Amino acid sequence: MMVDVRRVKLPGVGVLHTFVTDDGGKVGVIAHRSGHSDLITFSDHEDGSDVTKVSLRLNDDEAHTLAELLGGTQITETLTALDQIPGLSIDWFTVDYDDHIAGQQLGAPGDRGFVGLTVVAVVRGDSANPAPAPDFKVFPGDTLVVAGTPEKVAKAFSFFRTGSVAPRATADAPPGG
């Protein structure tokens, strides 16, 4: 059975997703443009005499953890299955206003030293832009979905945030070590 999820844009805030449970409870998630999420639950009786509300603010890691604990979505399960391929990591980067990549063209990962890294999609609002071109302009609130080795994904996230790639912690380590 498919759950009927309603999606409402909250201008300047983000997107609200809600659904009603079998027992009449209402669940909502506000996905803020800044990257954090609010999980809200509420139930109300027709006469309004008994209203119960709960709201929790979750950062990105907490939201991902909750999604995993709840079993994830079909997309998450599919990506998790892909994530089981040795040496492949798929991750999301939500762009903030102070990130280097904000307002910049995406560029080609290979031109930036990330050969073997792919930007699978850029999610903006309620639309995905699959396989974005190098001249695709990235804005705050966008979510970049990237795939590559865990090390390349981490380096790309460092670049997206700061504009430079953090050197390896062990700079004097032998190559490949």
pLDDT at 47 over 80: no
Question: Could you tell me the pLDDT band of residue 71, with boundaries at 50, 70 and 90?
Answer: low
pLDDT at 65 over 80: no
More confidently predicted of 64 and 38:
38
Owner of token pair 């699959």: 130
> What pTM does this model have?
0.49
The whole-number average pLDDT for the span 56-74 is 68
Q: CA-to-CA distance for 39 and 79, rounded, in angstroms?
A: 23
pLDDT at 163 over 80: yes
Query: Residue 66 to residues 56, 119, 156: CA-CA distances in angstroms?
Result: 12, 25, 25
pLDDT for position 69: 66
pLDDT for position 143: 87
Question: Could you tell me the pLDDT band of residue 105, with boundaries at 50, 70 and 90?
Answer: very high
Q: CA-to-CA distance for 172 and 121, rounded, in angstroms?
A: 36
Q: Which residues contact 32 (CB under 8 A, 6 or more apart)?
A: 13, 14, 38
> What kind and span of H or E run contains 88?
none
Query: How many beta carbons lie within 10 A of that of residue 76, not counting itself?
Result: 15
The whole-number average pLDDT for the span 135-162 is 88
Query: Residue 27 to residues 7, 69, 73, 107: CA-CA distances in angstroms?
Result: 12, 16, 16, 39
pLDDT for position 91: 78
pLDDT for position 136: 92
Q: Which of 18, 38, 33 is nearest to 123 (CA)?
A: 33
